[in-house]
Chain A
Amino acid sequence: MDLRQRLVHLALRRPHALLVEVPGWWRTRVETERAMARRGWRPASSPAGADVLVVCGSPGADLGEVVDRVTDQLPGPRARVAATAPEEVATALDEAAARLADERAQRDDARDRTRADRADRADQGGDGGDDGGDDGGEDGGEDGGDDEDDGDSEMAPEGIPLAGSGPDRDGLEMDVLNVPLGPVLEHWPAGLVLRCVLQGDVVVEADVDVLAGGAAASPSATAAVTCDGAARALDLAGWGDAAAGVRRVRDLVLDGHHDQARRDLDRLAARVARSRVLRWSLRDLGRLDPAQARAHGLPDDAVGDVHDRLVAMLERARDGLAGRSDAAGDRSAVVEALPTLVHGLELAAVRLVVASHDPDTLGASRQERADA
């Protein structure tokens, strides 16, 4: 084996994958996460950190377009694969690994991209090509950054309009920036797009949309879904260990090991409720009183702050497992309420508030379709 091959071989021990979940393909995404963990693959937080893009489900036209743009941002060697059922996941990951290992194809891919990139720049008449860049990475973490042009259109270095400005919460004039959150974002509800107008990192205006899939698959086991939502909130609170524990419970439920799942969940829920650091960190974030919750049509357990809702989510999962009540409630109304709920919060808080409400994007997109 020469050095190059050895390098490739080593690199393939630890590919990083960015997951895109289409609403309705929850089960497929979960299976992908599990298969990745078994293989020692790591989740990526942004396209720049990913080798593989796994699309879980069949996206509709809008989501498909976003996925294409995100694929363009992968630095390469890269592979984009799709799985539309849990059984297809293993094959998809095998395929991704094989494509990453194919040196010749990856070299061709890199060359084609450089060419396409140059042609693009020539078309735009821009100077470009400052370093013969291999990559035309777009602005923004996830989907190409801001496209609305609020500022003077002639002031647009490299095609990106400069930020406009508006009055901020202290009555001063401050730059505004359009940053979409989602749909391809780690620990984020499937298909959700929250188009935020930011001043600094404070959301001053938001507008919500769900990019749905083709024919959606059936919804799945409630306790497991709730565990998954709680794990997401814990990850966003920066507590990866607890999140991994709750995810393991989710997997136990899916595999039918209910007794073990119940025991583990009891222990974890107690640990989460006990943690003083977590409570100190999440206390008073996104607080809702019962009247506000009712006004938005939210379930009763949406009352309180992020910490209360996280504890309630774990409680709900425990109830579901114990077969007590299946009080999951209808969590699709949350989607419509999100712009109001996140108004005036800074980005970290927005992420936590969204996760703590555990919005049901599949339900919301179905309702929208029924209304139309």
Chain B
Amino acid sequence: MPEVVTVGAAWAVPAALLLGLVAVVAASADAVMVARRDGVDVRTGAIAPLAETARLLRQPRRVTPAADAPLWRVGRGGLLVAALLMVAVVPWGSWVPADLPVGVVWFNAVDVTVWAFVWLAGWGPNAAFSLVGAYRFLAQALAYELPLMFALTAPALAAGSLRVADVAAAQQGLWFAVWMPVAFAVYCLGVLGFAVWGPLAPPTGGDIAGGVLAEVSGPDRLLLLAGRYALLAAGAVFAVPLFLGGGAGPLLPGWLWVLVKALVLVVALVAVGRRLPALRPDRFLELGWMVLLPAVLLQVLVVALVVVL
């Protein structure tokens, strides 16, 4: 069993800060790509997360008539909480905030809670477009969740453990991303899904006036937008021990390698997400169940055969 040290509760703070850093880099990267596309000074893109925060902090909260205030609040705050819970089980090199023996299952359980949070955020304001966005997310989640679940089992199966540190340690020499590419690709699509990002952004689409985001302003909007980037970042961070060899790497300390790999992956997710058209929710279900699910099951079969032989 590889050596990881469970650090004290206070160390959750640096872990959260690292997650925040990855999320801010993702937001900046996105704005820089837009700035470059529009031929504007890229520096305005780089400070976009800061400017956006300042802008939203100046706004008051918006209240709609007959809103379901408590549930709306739960939905808005939930995304950020889910992202933090996801990275709680990620080992940063040799230290980990929570060394759960079933870390992979934990991650999966938390990503399912995102279903509830996004739906509640759309249900809360009692407005048609928000609710349409909320149901779009459920339709989409129904399509990506099972493939994502099996994509998560592939590395765990190869490592023979559901403990995240064991999975990272099992990749001495060869990253799982290299020899289980289908599982890795499906995992990345799942991350785009629960972060409501790129081709899986229709729940917040411009065609329904921003959907889940249509009625929120001020700090509430900030929470939702930050939650989305945090989930994208959490997905990238969790991919590192699962598929990208964990903290293993020359020269740099383990935690820094985790950070570097997560940053590269999150920027790649942002860039790829921008380049693809949306996968419309009503068609995506067919893709999820007829293509992704069989493909990832085959991948798990291949992994199982490799492990047994």
Query: Does A141 lie at the interface of the complex (its beta carbon under 8 Å from any beta carbon of B)?
Result: yes
- Residues from 112 to 169 in A contacting B, C-beta threshold 8 Å: 130-131, 133-135, 137-142, 145, 157-160
Measured between beta carbons, the chain B residues less than 8 angstroms from A277 are 199, 276-277, 279
Closest chain B residue, CB of each to CB of A37: B38
- Residues from 237 to 281 in B contacting A, C-beta threshold 8 Å: 274-281
Distance in angstroms from A30 CB to nearest chain B CB is 14
Measured between beta carbons, the chain A residues less than 8 angstroms from B69 are 130
Q: Are A140 and B129 in contact (CB under 8 A)?
A: yes
* Contact pattern, A 206-243, Cβ under 8 Å of B = 1, otherwise 0: 00000000000000000000000000001111111110
Distance in angstroms from A108 CB to nearest chain B CB is 14
Please classify the interface of chain B as helix (H, G, I), strand (E, B), loop, or mixed, using the class held by over half of its residues: helix
Q: Are B206 and A241 in contact (CB under 8 A)?
A: no
Q: Interface segment, B58-66, B160-168, B182-190?
A: B58-66
* Contact pattern, A 268-285, Cβ under 8 Å of B = 1, otherwise 0: 000000010110110000
Query: Does B121 lie at the interface of the complex (its beta carbon under 8 Å from any beta carbon of A)?
Result: no
* Contact pattern, B 28-68, Cβ under 8 Å of A = 1, otherwise 0: 00000001011111001101101110110111111111100
- Residues from 53 to 111 in A contacting B, C-beta threshold 8 Å: 75-77, 110
A110 to B61, CA, bound (A): 12
Measured between beta carbons, the chain A residues less than 8 angstroms from B63 are 130-131, 133, 135, 137
- Of A157, A177, A241, which one neighbours B66 at CB under 8 angstroms? A157
Query: Does A338 lie at the interface of the complex (its beta carbon under 8 Å from any beta carbon of B)?
Result: no
Q: Known: A139-B126, A238-B199. Is A38-B40 also a contact (CB below 8 A)? A: yes
Q: Are B60 and A135 in contact (CB under 8 A)?
A: yes
Please count how many residues in chain A sit with their CB below 8 Å of the partner chain's CB atoms.
64
Closest chain B residue, CB of each to CB of A10: B54
Closest chain A residue, CB of each to CB of B208: A347
- Residues from 163 to 202 in B contacting A, C-beta threshold 8 Å: 199, 201-202
Question: What size tier do the contact residues of chain B reach?
Answer: 35 or more
Measured between beta carbons, the chain A residues less than 8 angstroms from B275 are 241
Tell me how many residue pairs across A and B have CB atoms closer than 8 Å.
Answer: 180
Closest chain A residue, CB of each to CB of B59: A75
Measured between beta carbons, the chain A residues less than 8 angstroms from B48 are 14
A137 to B220, CA, bound (A): 15
Q: Are B207 and A347 in contact (CB under 8 A)?
A: yes
Q: Are A49 and B277 in contact (CB under 8 A)?
A: no
Query: Does A322 lie at the interface of the complex (its beta carbon under 8 Å from any beta carbon of B)?
Result: no
Q: Are B276 and A239 in contact (CB under 8 A)?
A: yes
Q: Are A160 and B215 in contact (CB under 8 A)?
A: no
Highest count of chain A CB atoms <10 Å: which of B61, B129, B214:
B129
B-contacting residues of A (Cβ < 8 Å)? 7-8, 10-11, 13-16, 37-38, 40, 45-46, 48-49, 51, 75-77, 110, 130-131, 133-135, 137-142, 145, 157-160, 177, 179, 185-187, 198, 200-201, 234-242, 244, 275, 277-278, 280-281, 346-348, 351-352
